[in-house]
Amino acid sequence: MKEPVFTGVCTAIVTPFTDSGAVSYDQFARLIDRQLEGGVDAVCVCGTTGESATLSVREHVGLVEACVRRVSGRARVIAGAGSNATAAALSLSQRVQDAGADALLLVTPYYNKATQDGLIRHYTYIADRVALPILLYNVPSRTGVSFTAETYKALSQHPNINGVKEASGNFSLLSHTHALCGPDFHIWSGNDDQVVPMMSLGAEGVVSVASNLVPEVMVRMSHLCLEGAFQEAAALQLRYQALMDALFIEVNPIPIKAALNLAGWAAGPLRLPLCELSDGHREALRQAMEAAGLLQHPAA
C-alpha cells in the first residue's frame, strides 16, 4: 500500500518579492520558519499561491532548493512542477527532484483541454521518468479540464502516483473516486473552506492557502479530522469561515499576499498580470482579519 506523502496540512507558500520584483529569499526563509513553528506537515513551494506561472525556471528551481535547505527535513517539501506541455513538465520535475524535493505537484495541463486519455498519457509519461511520488492537481476553474474518477483509477495503478489535490469542489467526484480507487490513492482538499467535509469523506488533509496566515488553525482543524473529532473541527471551520472567504475575495494569491502584508509579514508585491487588491476588497479583508485577531504585527 502506498503511504500518503503527508497527512494534515501542507501550506501552499507564497513567493515574496522585493519592491524591485526580485525573489526575496530572506523573507522566504522567514515565512518558512513561521510555517514550521505553526506545526505544518508539509510545504508546497512554487504552486499557484507561489505565483509559479510568473517565475523563470532558474527562480523556480532556486526556490525549491532554498525551501529544502530551510525545512531541513522538518516537514515534507512538495514542489510544483506542472505545465501545459508534457516535455516541459518532465524537465521541471526532474530539476526539482534534483533540487531535493520530496514529492511533485503536477497540475492538469492547461489551455490544451486534454482528453481523459491525454491526461493518462501525460501523467504516465512523467511518472515513468521520475523517482518521486506525484500528487495530481485537479483545479478545472483554472485549467479548463477535470479528471474523472475512472481516470483517477487508471492513474492510481502507477507506483509513483500517490494521489490528488482535489480543488474541483465536486463532492460526487470525491466519493466516486474513493469507491473506485480505495485506500491506495490519497486525496487532499485543495480548498480551505472544504477541509472538514472533504476529510469526513476520506481526504487526508489539505493543501492550504489560509495556513500562510493561520497555520496553527489549519493544523488543528485537519488533525482533529484525522482523529475523528469532526464536530470540533467543524466548529473551528465555521469560526474562521469569514476569514477564508475574505482570502478568496479576489483570485488567489492576491488576497493572501495582501493579508500577509497587512499582518506585517512583508510578502511584497505581486507579479503582473496579477495586481494589488482593490480598495474595497482590502477593507473587507482588513475587517475579517481584525475580527479574527490577526492584525498584531510579528516581532522583528
| 107 occurs within a structural domain | yes
State yes or no: pLDDT of 299 exceeds 60.
no
| 241 occurs within a structural domain | no
Q: Note the pLDDT of residue 298.
A: 45
Q: Nearest Cα to 5, choosing from 98, 135, 123?
A: 135
Which residue of the set 137, 152, 240, 257 is catalytic? 137
Q: Note the pLDDT of residue 296.
A: 61
| 198 occurs within a structural domain | yes
| 264 occurs within a structural domain | no
| 283 occurs within a structural domain | no
- For the question of residue 25 being annotated catalytic, the response is no
Q: Note the pLDDT of residue 72.
A: 96
CA distance 239 to 245: 12
| 289 occurs within a structural domain | no
- For the question of residue 137 being annotated catalytic, the response is yes
| 292 occurs within a structural domain | no
What are the tens digits of pLDDT across the range 117-163? 999 999 999 999 999 999 999 999 999 999 999 999 999 999 999 99
Tell me the CATH number at 20: 3.20.20.70
Which residue of the set 111, 113, 123, 165 is catalytic? 165
* Domains held by the chain: number: 1
- The residue-averaged pLDDT of 81-109 equals 97
Mean pLDDT of the chain: 96
Domain range for 145 is: 8-229
| 249 occurs within a structural domain | no
Predicted TM-score of the model (pTM):
0.94
